[in-house]
A and B are shown apart, each in its own frame.
Chain A
Amino acid sequence: NAGVMQNPRHLVRRRGQEARLRCSPMKGHSHVYWYRQLPEEGLKFMVYLQKENIIDESGMPKERFSAEFPKEGPSILRIQQVVRGDSAAYFCASSPGREDEDEQFFGPGTRLTVL
């Protein structure tokens, strides 16, 4: 059973470009979470999604950031018109979504560098 997959592992973008980060949850998991980790800091919650639904996006910046988790395919975190401050590690986690199984399993992360 493969773990949470994220790609790319490293992404370099110039200011103003778009960044697309992908996350494939573990098999059987229907809940996906995105976290951002700035250098030397802990992880900060961004958004929580179930298939085709955004459940909680209270941690997402209001502009330029969006997330989706379609019925088929991976979850996508999209950052438009990137700025240097977007440089960070972005982690995706998944969970089964069952009440007694709320442990989140993390992917290896995508390290975004904005030049």
Chain B
Amino acid sequence: SQQGEEDPQALSIQEGENATMNCSYKTSINNLQWYRQNSGRGLVHLILIRSNEREKHSGRLRVTLDTSKKSSSLLITASRAADTASYFCATDAYNFNKFYFGSGTKLNVKP
């Protein structure tokens, strides 16, 4: 299975702290994407990292990709209560367009 799996399943931190979520996958990929989903809402695309990239930044987000370990991490710095959501990583099979999602990490940022 290509499925990405996020770790931890749930994370609770105080506002201002950093949050780190990890994603592992099983086979070769073309790219990996991180999405956020607020409770009962749709998905918001956060960041895409390609298989030939090792690190990407977007605002308070930092994503790393280690293809040798088949893993990625999402770091949210200086977290805010508004960051409370579920975070999913999605991987695509090389040369295919469908994404495989993990079950997500539920992040709770306490004010």
Chain A at the B interface: SS class: strand
Distance in Å: Cβ of A51 to nearest Cβ of chain B: 14
Interface string of A89-106 (1 = CB under 8 A from B): 001010100000011111
B97 contacts chain A at the CB level, 8 A cutoff: yes
A104, B99: Cβ atoms under 8 Å?
Answer: yes
Contact B45 A106 (CB under 8 A): yes
Contact B97 A33 (CB under 8 A): yes
Q: Enumerate A32-66 residues with CB–CB distance to B below 8 Å.
A: 33, 35, 40-45, 48, 55-56, 58-59
User: Among B14-22, B58-66, B70-78, B100-108, which stretch is in contact with chain A?
Assistant: B100-108
Chain A residues within 8 Å of B42, by CB? 91, 106-109
Q: Does B30 contact A (CB under 8 A)?
A: yes
Is A108's CB under 8 angstroms from B41's CB?
A: yes
**B48 at the binding interface (Cβ < 8 Å):** yes
Whether A41 and B98, one on each chain, are in contact in the complex, defined by CB atoms closer than 8 angstroms, is no
A59 lies within 8 A of B48 (CB): no
A91 to B98, Cβ gap below 8 A?
no
Q: Is the CB of B102 within 8 A of A33?
A: no
- The 7 A-B residue pairs with the shortest CB-CB distance, nearest first, are A42-B101, A108-B42, A106-B43, A43-B101, A45-B98, A42-B103, A109-B42
Show the binding face of B for A, using Cβ within 8 Å: 3, 30-31, 33, 35, 40-45, 48, 88, 90, 92, 96-104
Interface residues of A (CB under 8 A from B): 31, 33, 35, 40-45, 48, 55-56, 58-59, 91, 93, 95, 102-109, 111
